[in-house]
Amino acid sequence: MKAGLARVLPGLVLIGLLFSFVHLVGQSFAQTALNVQLQIVKYGELAEAVRAQKGKVLVIDVWADFCIPCKEEFPNLVRLHKKYAEKGLNCFSVSVDPPNNPTAKDRVKKFLEKQQATFANFFLDEPEGVWQNRWDLNGPPCVFVFDRQGKRAAKFEVDVTTKPFTYTDVEKLVVELLERKP
């Protein structure tokens, strides 16, 4: 009896450890999802949030749930934030999904949770004409980069007259701005 128990006991301990690990990892993912916030804002509130970042380098990713290229590039924003946040980078995501779409906010929030986007996330509660006119933009994707003084350093967008940008382009500028003395 003792010999049989001695053979089974290590397996039971291993199974117990495995269940504990799975439980802890599950809690970690759940906690990350809970840290993802989506603020519904008007344009003026977003502009205030941007101005409040003076002293930091700021990357703003303008995206939408309906925009496949936006969603494909979004993990790069998350990576950029994780890599440079401690060096003075802040990241914002701004969803420009139609505010009158009853499921848009939920879809955006689920996507952000899946991406573990723990930085500031905004849902712009404005008709598309507002942001298109203010930003001189036809649609997403678009990335704005602001320097530590709060001045726009670059606007990366996709249109028929420019070559598509990548997050490699964005990161190169971010590194340059972070290296400048405040």
Same domain, 4 and 53: no
* pLDDT for res 179: 92
Segments forming the whole domain that contains residue 57: 36-179
Q: Give 165's DSSP letter.
A: P
Same domain, 43 and 124: yes
Same domain, 108 and 145: yes
3-state secondary structure of 62: strand
Same domain, 3 and 67: no
Q: Could you give the C-alpha distances from 112 to 24, 60, 107, 158, in angstroms and in order?
A: 21, 15, 9, 22
Distance of CA 24 to the CA centre of its chain: 24
* pLDDT for res 139: 87
Give the domain CATH number at 98: 3.40.30.10
* pLDDT for res 10: 53
* pLDDT for res 30: 42
Instruction: Evaluate the omega torsion of the peptide bond into residue 141 and state whether it is cis, within 30 degrees of 0.
Output: yes
Please give the Cα distance from 102 to 91 (Å, whole number): 27
Same domain, 86 and 137: yes
Q: CA torsion 142→47→75→174, rounded to 10°?
A: 80
Same domain, 174 and 145: yes
Please give the Cα distance from 71 to 145 (Å, whole number): 19
Same domain, 27 and 104: no
Residues 143, 165 contacting (CB under 8 angstroms):
yes
29-57 burial, b for 16+ CB within 10 Å, e for fewer?
eeeeeeebebeebeeeebeebbeebeebb
CB-count burial class (<10 Å; 0-12, 13-18, 19+) for 114: middle
* pLDDT for res 7: 59
* pLDDT for res 23: 44
Same domain, 21 and 50: no
Q: How many domains does the chain have?
A: 2
Provide the greatest CA pair distance for the chain: 80
The tens place of each residue's pLDDT in the chain, 182 residues long, gives 555 545 544 544 444 433 444 444 444 444 444 589 999 999 999 999 999 999 999 999 999 999 999 999 999 999 999 999 999 999 999 999 999 898 999 999 999 999 999 999 999 999 988 999 999 888 899 999 999 999 999 999 876 566 678 899 999 999 999 998 76
